[in-house]
């Protein structure tokens, strides 16, 4: 049951560095990322899976002491493109045409709405909008991982500009937004048994 999985999961502080997420589970997690929804379906993201110990070692000193970066099996660096515009809309349009055979004029109208929406955002607004989409994918990733008993830790505590330099992201047209460590909890991690701190349903949900 998904709610049991959500009780099971927690933001893992200590990973067992000797345990690796296997290929079949990695594939499920990659599929979950790819199937995440995004505004207009524009998918303004790229996800970099890092298992290489020396790369993780370089990233750790610029990760606000989050040792999960080093000890996890795979660190997912969730990135947004540096720019997003007409060419990206056209790429989605081409995919929609080939996948659905939909009427071209309807699609063109929809594409124009997307282009207008993007061109009305300044760079900071656009980055924020992309970051919002990427955080939806982060939620999907963690939810999928919980269902297959892979531990995760979402992390905003890192120096994004340093990550971008170490991973040569600018050259790839990318910027790091948020991280997610994947792996298996160290059985001694005391946070695994900490109570879930959640406000009461009546505090956060209103039914009209
Ligand atoms: C966007 C985001 C960024 C976070 N950044 C960090 C982080 O840098 N380091 C960390 O240990 N936990 C981080 N967390 C984990 C939260 O502290 C944790 O999810 C929250 O306290 C709820 O606890 P739970 O996930 O164990 O249920 C982050 C969570 C989110 C959603």
What is the value of pTM for the model shown? 0.97
Atom of ligand 1 nearest to the CA of 158: 8
Mutation probe of ligand 1 site: the residue of 6, 11, 155, 197 with most atoms within 8 A of C-beta: 11
Rounded Cα distance between 93 and 89, Å, is 6
For ligand 1, atom 6, the nearest C-alpha belongs to: 155
Rounded Cα distance between 59 and 166, Å, is 7
Tokens for 30, please give them.
């990659």
Over 59-91, what HEC string results?
HHHHCCCCCHHHHCCEEEEEEEECCCCHHHHHH
Domains in the chain, start-ordered, CATH in brackets?
Answer: 2-81+132-187 (3.40.109.10)
**Average pLDDT of span 76-102:** 93
Task: Please name every residue paired with 182 in a beta bridge, in sequence order, or none if there are none.
Answer: 74, 152
**DSSP 8-state symbol, 116:** H
- pLDDT band at residue 172 using 50, 70 and 90 as cut-offs: very high
User: In angstroms, what is the span from residue 12 Cα to ligand 1's centroid?
Assistant: 9
Mean pLDDT of the chain: 96
Ligand 1 binding pocket includes 69 (Cβ within 6 Å): no
Would you state the pLDDT for residue 107?
85
Rounded Cα distance between 52 and 49, Å, is 9
Ligand 1 binding pocket includes 178 (Cβ within 6 Å): yes
- If we measure between CA atoms, which residue out of 21, 50, 7 comes closest to residue 185? 21
């Amino acid at each position: 049951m998904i709610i049991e999985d959500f009780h099971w999961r927690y933001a893992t502080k200590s990973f067992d560095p000797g345990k690796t997420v296997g290929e079949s589970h990695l594939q499920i997690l990659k599929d979950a990322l790819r199937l995440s929804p995004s505004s207009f379906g524009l998918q303004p993201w790229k996800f970099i899976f890092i298992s290489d110990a020396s790369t993780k070692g370089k990233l750790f000193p610029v990760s606000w002491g989050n040792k999960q970066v080093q000890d996890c099996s795979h660190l997912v660096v969730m990135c947004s493109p540096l720019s997003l515009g007409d060419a990206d809309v056209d790429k989605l349009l081409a995919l929609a045409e080939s996948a659905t055979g939909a009427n071209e004029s309807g699609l063109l109208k929809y594409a124009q709405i997307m282009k207008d929406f993007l061109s009305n955002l300044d760079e900071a607004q656009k980055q924020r909008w992309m970051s919002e989409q990427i955080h939806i994918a982060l939620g999907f990733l963690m939810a999928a991982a919980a269902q297959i008993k892979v531990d995760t830790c979402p992390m905003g505590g890192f120096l994004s500009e340093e990550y971008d330099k170490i991973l040569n992201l600018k050259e790839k047209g990318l910027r790091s937004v948020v991280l997610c460590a994947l792996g298996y909890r160290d059985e001694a991690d005391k946070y695994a048994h900490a109570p879930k701190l959640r406000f009461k349903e009546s505090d956060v949900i209103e039914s009209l």
